[in-house]
Amino acid sequence: MKYLIIGVVSLWALFQLSSLIWSSKGQPPSATFTRLLEPPQYRLTNPYENGYFYLLGFAAAASLDPAKVGHAIWLETSAAPGAGSFNYDKPGRSELQIELPMEQILPSWNSENPVSEFRNMHERLQTVIGLDRTLMTRYERWLAMPFEDMGFGRHGTPRFVEVFVGHRLYVAEGFSRQTALGMQRLKRDMDTWRNILRDATTIATKVMAQIIITDDLRLLSILLSQPVVNKTVLAMTTNVAPPLTAAESSLRWPLQHQFTLGVQGDRIGERTKEEHTESLDTHEQWLANAARLPKQAFRQISHPHGRSFLGIPLQTRETWEMYGTYYDAMIRAAEAGQGALPKLHQLAGSTPQGIVESLVNPHSFEPDWDPFHYQLRETDARLRLASLQVVLRRPSAQTTIPNRLAQVGSSYYDPFSGLPMLWSPTQEKIYSVGKDRYDDGGDSSFDISVPAIVSHAPGPKELQPVAPTRQINHR
């Protein structure tokens, strides 16, 4: 009798498991599920003219074409579904690699008077040879190229550190010659990366765009906090640093990218090689450190390998339909400007689970996109603060600084609170309350703050929010 009961229970469990695995067979996917798996529409037909491939091969040997090297790296992942990171280990692909920590890359960038430091470095920047000259020349060439992010649906994370070196050398060399040239290069740099921020289809590219935009803004804020500010800097800042647009703030494509990776990995029983995982971690970790994201930020949005039984994935299509609904809700929340993204348990709580499904998949993976969502708001806050530094440098009949910060208009309010930016008279800083939404008096450990020198005498009208007019070099 005991064995009969065990046999009946075993047959019932097998039946339930089979139903779990095949429950969606023959049913068409939902419109949301299908839409999330649709890749971007690409316009560039010649890969050697796409700045994305040039960027992939940016650290290639000086004798090689970065675009051709980058395209070859990319094609390798196309030939192997579920492949890991881009392979930079082949000869010549990373000959110009940089291993320096971020703070050691042109440290004068963060000095108290960077333009003066750049001028003192003028001759060295003019005569720079070897690796630095190649990276700077390549960066200038790359800025003139159209750009389409071809990383959608691929695990590979590009090497970005050499691009970061090229960016700093390019801008610094311009300031070493003339402030006007430096500001022109800074503006071009910001315009390019903001276009990439707008069109990025992967979270790695979107994070890198913010790293360089923030780096440019850090330099600009230092220039605007000098006792005497060059008129060119004041005149150009408004057009250089308008607030983020809705498209720039969107997480739509990065979210679809991660959803696609999860579905693909589940379908093909993805098993990333150990050496690829290590390489991927290296590039992701550099991005996380440079962007001041949590150490595991990228891992916390990467769907784990699905469980299987006799080689068959145990995650049902209902599971991915649930994730599809969740990702669609996150896209809508981010584009609506909501302060917080929805949580999976809020949407999945009403989804019924069978007994067996509860056993084989008891805890659904919940990706944590909050760090990336907050990073976009921080980038927006830094842009607004740079513009407000100019507002306060201009003479005004308005006697109180809070009133001046309020009168500039809601486009320049704190994106975290929806209220005017705050002023600390003791620290002489203007600041955003940051993601914790607490006023910490401008403490840079918690708030997002910049120095501000205030002019009080009557003078020209305050800054009015205007639509940015930026030359679009990248698509």
Cα–Cα distance between 209 and 194 in angstroms, integer?
Answer: 7
Mark the ranges of the chain whose per-residue pLDDT is less than 50: 2-24, 270-280, 308-312, 350-360, 362, 459-462, 464-475
Cα–Cα distance between 163 and 74 in angstroms, integer?
Answer: 18
Give pLDDT tens digits for 11-54: 333 334 344 444 445 578 899 999 999 999 999 999 999 999 99
Cα–Cα distance between 322 and 369 in angstroms, integer?
Answer: 17
φ, ψ for residue 228, nearest 5 deg = -120, 125
Q: Which H or E run contains 430?
A: strand 429-432
| pLDDT at residue number 451 | 93
| pLDDT at residue number 83 | 59
Cα–Cα distance between 357 and 351 in angstroms, integer?
Answer: 12
Burial class (CB within 10 angstroms; exposed 0-12, middle 13-18, buried 19+) of 195: buried
Cα–Cα distance between 209 and 158 in angstroms, integer?
Answer: 13
Cα–Cα distance between 333 and 339 in angstroms, integer?
Answer: 8
Cα–Cα distance between 23 and 150 in angstroms, integer?
Answer: 35
CB–CB of 196/149 below 8 Å?
Answer: yes
Give pLDDT tens digits for 185-199: 999 999 999 999 999
| pLDDT at residue number 318 | 79
Q: Which residues of 18-49 are buried (b: 16+ CB within 10 A; e: fewer)?
A: eebbeeeeeeeeeeebeebbeeeeeebeebee
| pLDDT at residue number 320 | 85
DSSP bridge pairs for 312: 309
Give pLDDT tens digits for 82-125: 556 789 999 999 999 988 888 888 889 999 999 999 988 877 77
Cα–Cα distance between 349 and 360 in angstroms, integer?
Answer: 17
Could you tell me the residue ranges of all domains in the chain?
Answer: 47-249, 394-451
| pLDDT at residue number 306 | 58
